């Protein structure tokens, strides 16, 4: 069973709210859901839509064709999306919307009888869909719990009294299944950070990282987290480094332009060996770009950000489930080895939601790796064989001097060439141990057993996995860790005669990194860079011709 729905309207008409309610209701009814959000950088007006895909098996991509239902909150939705409708599909809309194949609902009459206002038109139309599918209205009522709860219940009751057809060809049954997880990428990172022991989250709003700020702000009291918005990104990263120096587990969030302002302080974290986790949600760039569109253009930027050479972690989750796990790993590695860790996401992953049966997590320590009882003469930058040790913090029996200058083992500024050389080597010795740890974290995964290979990273995993269901003779290599880079994927790639690189950017940035790290050059590329993510159908068409 599969059902495809588009909900569209202007900003301010409740498109996103309606899509979230429907998604959660279908999950509650026992189904798997993928919900993709498209929106413009407007508070009111323009055109927003959500593409929702429902199935009785896991689904990982939205659809832009063969749509079963379009819920149209305005005329533009019909104009833009009507050609995506199936032959037996329908448009659900108010009587003012002019279109063929319409299931008409007098929304204003319903709202008047319910004592509600026009903002609740979205509730009327999704209730109409719910009835047409033959589903229990109580599920929908329980999901739509807002400040207008009573009037929403009345709206749903009134819609169910209408003489709307129950479409037998589209009717679906409620399934008795165990609970499922349905998360956006932003929610996944938030819960991963909480499970990792997050103390402080600092951010200045910047799409598409802003949802993480809102989510953690809503959870701060429940989990005893300090969530704070400084006045700019420079303040964000410097406050984070200060808080981490004092012993807190800290994460900051931003997008490419905000991360650009953090570069100098990133180098400070590198030389002072103060851990910090940085969430970078990519958007369409360069510069301001298109704030509410997606792209994977910042890969080499985050790998090389900050002046000078210092070790860092860069991990790029491929789906919402993976985002929980990779966030926990980023905290663990950052705080154990005293290095900055970057979680690289994008708008597509951050704002889309997906359903999973379970989330498998590796047991990792969540402590801060602090030396709370340092011995006399403690050296914060001791030249250990491993290049790292537990940190002492202010307030313990030690002098703890962090320094942006090169320094000796006590943190005292130095210009001694021999000490400088020793400190560089000390910092880089960590990477040997980090690389060994990361091997246990499944830094890459091979899907399928075909003779041709897709290579990709990040959120492209979602539509590629969906496409694999219908592609013959293809395998897929998904790479999550970019630093340290898993060089042993070279052996996997060399086993295939036909290899294709899939990326959501202009120049194939991951392909460039792959060539730098392994010497492998992938000639065949499928690149998309118009601000929209891949969907499974377009990948199937492109890959079927290779």
Give yes or no for a contact between 48 and 11, defined as CB atoms under 8 angstroms apart. yes
DSSP type of residue 409: T
**What is d(CA 345, CA 320) in angstroms, rounded to the nearest whole number?**
10
The reported pTM is 0.96
Count the neighbouring beta carbons within 10 Å of the beta carbon of residue 167: 15
Task: Kindly give the confidence (pLDDT) of every residue in the chain, 546 residues in length, as a single tens digit, with 9 standing for 90 and above.
Answer: 999 999 999 999 999 999 999 999 999 999 999 999 999 998 899 999 999 999 999 999 999 999 999 999 999 999 999 999 999 999 999 999 988 888 999 999 999 999 998 999 999 999 999 999 999 999 999 999 865 567 899 999 999 999 998 888 788 888 877 778 999 999 999 999 999 999 999 999 999 999 999 999 999 999 999 999 999 999 999 999 999 999 999 999 999 999 999 999 999 999 999 999 999 999 999 999 999 999 999 999 999 999 999 999 999 999 999 999 999 999 999 999 999 999 999 999 999 999 999 988 888 988 899 999 999 899 999 999 999 999 999 999 898 999 999 999 999 999 999 999 999 999 999 999 999 999 999 999 999 999 999 999 999 999 999 999 999 999 999 999 999 999 999 999 999 999 999 999 999 999 999 999 999 999 999 999 999 999 999 999 999 999
Q: Which residues pair with 538 in a beta bridge?
A: none
φ, ψ dihedrals at 102, nearest 5°: -105, 135
pLDDT, one tens digit per residue, over 317-340 is: 999 999 999 999 999 999 999 999
Beta partners for 9? 48
Burial class (CB within 10 angstroms; exposed 0-12, middle 13-18, buried 19+) of 83: exposed
Every domain of the chain and the residues it spans: 2-161, 182-356, 444-544
Architecture of the domain spanning 182-356? 3-Layer(aba) Sandwich (3.40)
Cα end-to-end distance, the chain, whole Å: 29
Check if 2-161 and 444-544 are the same fold. no
**Hey, which CATH number is domain 444-544, 1.10.3470.10, 3.40.50.300, 3.40.50.920, 3.40.190.10?**
3.40.50.920
Question: Please, are residues 389 and 358 in contact by the beta-carbon 8 Å criterion?
Answer: no
Third-level CATH fold of 2-161: Pyruvate-ferredoxin Oxidoreductase; domain 3 (3.40.920)
């Amino acid at each position: 069973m599969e059902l495809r729905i588009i909900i569209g309207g202007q900003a301010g008409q409740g498109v996103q709210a309606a899509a979230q309610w429907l998604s959660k209701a279908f999950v509650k009814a026992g189904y798997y859901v993928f919900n993709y959000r498209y929106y413009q950088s407007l508070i009111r007006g323009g055109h927003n839509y959500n593409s929702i895909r429902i199935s009785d098996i896991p689904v990982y991509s939205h659809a832009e064709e063969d749509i079963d239902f379009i819920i149209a909150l305005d005329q533009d939705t019909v104009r833009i999306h009507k050609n995506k409708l199936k032959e037996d599909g329908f448009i659900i809309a108010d009587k003012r919307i002019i279109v063929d194949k319409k299931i008409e609902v007098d929304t204003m009459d319903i709202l008047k009888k319910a004592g509600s206002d026009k903002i609740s038109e979205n509730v009327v139309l999704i209730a109409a869909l719910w009835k047409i599918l033959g589903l229990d209205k109580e599920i929908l009522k329980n999901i739509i719990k807002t400040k207008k709860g009573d009037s929403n219940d009345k709206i749903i009751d009134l819609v169910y009294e209408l003489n709307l057809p129950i479409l037998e060809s589209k009717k679906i049954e409620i399934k008795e299944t165990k609970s499922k997880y349905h998360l956006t990428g932003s929610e996944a990172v938030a819960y991963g950070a909480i499970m990792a022991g997050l103390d402080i989250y600092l951010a200045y709003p910047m799409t598409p990282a802003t949802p993480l700020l809102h989510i953690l702000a809503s959870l701060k009291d429940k989990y005893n987290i300090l969530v704070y918005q400084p006045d700019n990104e420079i303040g964000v990263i410097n406050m984070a480094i200060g808080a981490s120096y004092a012993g807190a587990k800290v994460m900051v969030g931003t997008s490419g332009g905000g991360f650009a302002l953090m570069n100098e302080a990133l180098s400070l974290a590198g030389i002072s060996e103060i851990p910090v986790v940085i969430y970078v949600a990519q958007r369409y760039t360069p510069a301001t770009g298109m704030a509410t569109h997606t792209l994977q253009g910042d890969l080499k930027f985050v790998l090389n950000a900050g002046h000078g050479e210092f070790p860092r972690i860069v991990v790029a989750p491929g789906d919402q489930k993976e985002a929980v796990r990779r966030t926990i790993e980023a905290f663990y590695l950052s705080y154990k080895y005293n290095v900055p860790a970057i979680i690289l996401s994008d708008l597509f992953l951050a704002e889309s939601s997906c359903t999973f049966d379970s989330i498998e997590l590796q047991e990792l320590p969540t402590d801060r790796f602090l030396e709370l009882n340092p011995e006399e003469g403690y050296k914060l930058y001791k030249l250990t064989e491993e290049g790292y040790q537990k940190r002492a913090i202010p307030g313990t029996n030690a002098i703890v001097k962090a320094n942006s200058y090169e320094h000796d083992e006590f943190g005292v500024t130095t210009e001694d060439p021999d000490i400088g050389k020793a400190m560089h080597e000390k910092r880089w010795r960590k990477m040997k141990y980090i690389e060994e740890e990361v091997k246990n974290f499944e830094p890459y995964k091979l899907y399928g057993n075909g003779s041709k290979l897709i290579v990709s990273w990040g959120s492209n995993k979602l539509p590629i996995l969906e496409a694999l269901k219908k592609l013959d003779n293809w395998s897929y290599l998904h790479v999550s860790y970019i630093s340290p880079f898993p060089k042993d994927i070279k052996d996997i790639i060399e086993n295939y005669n036909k290899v294709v690189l899939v990326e959501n950017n202009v120049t194939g940035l991951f392909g460039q990194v792959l060539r730098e790290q392994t010497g492998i050059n992938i000639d065949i590329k499928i690149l998309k860079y118009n601000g929209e993510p891949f969907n499974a159908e377009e990948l199937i068409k492109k890959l079927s011709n290779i």
